[in-house]
Structure 1
Amino acid sequence: MNDLQRLKEMGITVWDVKRPDLFPNNADKAIALPSSCKLLFVSDAELSERDAWLFGKILASMKLTPEQALSLPSRALANLGEHSLIWCWFAGASVQTLSGVNSLSSPVLSILNDDQDAKKALWKQIKRYEN
């Protein structure tokens, strides 16, 4: 079994090279999202089990499944290639405009879990796009 298969079995589909200078041929490669990806979650924070549960609940409220969402760290967004995104959710990351994509902004999920005002603000953003 090769390393890529191991990562896939562990559910890791996106990763970063810590020393990109050692791999000059991989620089500037566009990140290709599957056409099934409708929401890109941009955050530099790792998700705890509790955070993942909240993320799933929010996706369900948006009529999306976890299979329709992928996560990227903010530094990888610059390498985003063609996509079929409808939503881009920036959690604790600076919002960047993606043409034709609905942008959401919130604190990281670990804060959102316990902050009712932040949850309401996120919900209002989601509802604004539905009108």
Structure 2
Amino acid sequence: MPQQALQFLNEMDISVWQVRQTSYFPALENTTLSLPETCQLLFVAPAIPTERDAFLFGKVLASMKLSPEQALFLSSESLEYIGEHHLDWCWFSGVSTTELEGVKILTSPLLSEMHSNTQSRRDLWRQICSYDN
């Protein structure tokens, strides 16, 4: 990425980003993603959560004693490009899971489907609690 673009992102206080159309930036293809050290949970889903979904997401984070600043969204296609990380959790919502060494894995339906499905919220809670034992 050109230095000017990096400087522009830095000025906007954006430290993590994803290029949606990598065909425009051939130099970025097949590069590794660096996650900030503060990232404890990686939320992997097909799309960025809506405002309504973000509220439920925040409630789940709070139950795990995590803040929104400690979580990042990543599309499932980008998961293979993760380099070194300090993750504790990886939550797969509506996508197939991938093993990450030393990371606690959570699975659930899409957040949008969990609003009206009490059982799916219970199942997620049980997964979270299973790691406390």
Same fold (TM over 0.5): yes
Query: Which residue in 2 is equivalent to 1:129?
Result: 131
* Secondary structure at 2:131 match in 1: helix
Structure 2 gaps of 5+ residues are none
From 27, 30, 36, the equivalent of 1:28 is 30
Letter paired with 2:96: S
Deviations 1:47-97 (A, max 9, x none): 111100000000000000001000100000000010000000000011000
Structure 1 position 15 matched with structure 2 position 22:
no
Query: Which residue in 2 is equivalent to 1:103?
Result: 105
Structure 1 position 10, deviation (Å): 9.4
CA separation in 2, counterparts of 1:69 and 1:8? 21
Query: Which residue in 2 is equivalent to 1:77?
Result: 79
Which has the larger displacement, 40-49 or 53-62?
40-49
Which has the larger displacement, 93-102 or 39-48?
39-48
Structure 1 gaps of 5+ residues are none
CA separation in 2, counterparts of 1:51 and 1:103? 20
Q: Residue 32 of structure 1 contacts residue 82 of structure 1 at CA under 8 Å; is this kept in 2?
A: yes
| Superposed CA RMSD | 2.3
TM-score of the aligned structures, taking structure 2 as reference length: 0.87
* Secondary structure at 1:54 match in 2: helix
From 49, 61, 64, the equivalent of 1:62 is 64
CA separation in 1, counterparts of 2:13 and 2:130? 36
Structure 1 position 27, deviation (Å): 1.5
TM-score of the aligned structures, taking structure 1 as reference length: 0.89
Aligned length: 130
Q: Residue 7 of structure 1 contacts residue 13 of structure 1 at CA under 8 Å; is this kept in 2?
A: no
Q: Residue 16 of structure 2 contacts residue 35 of structure 2 at CA under 8 Å; is this kept in 1?
A: no
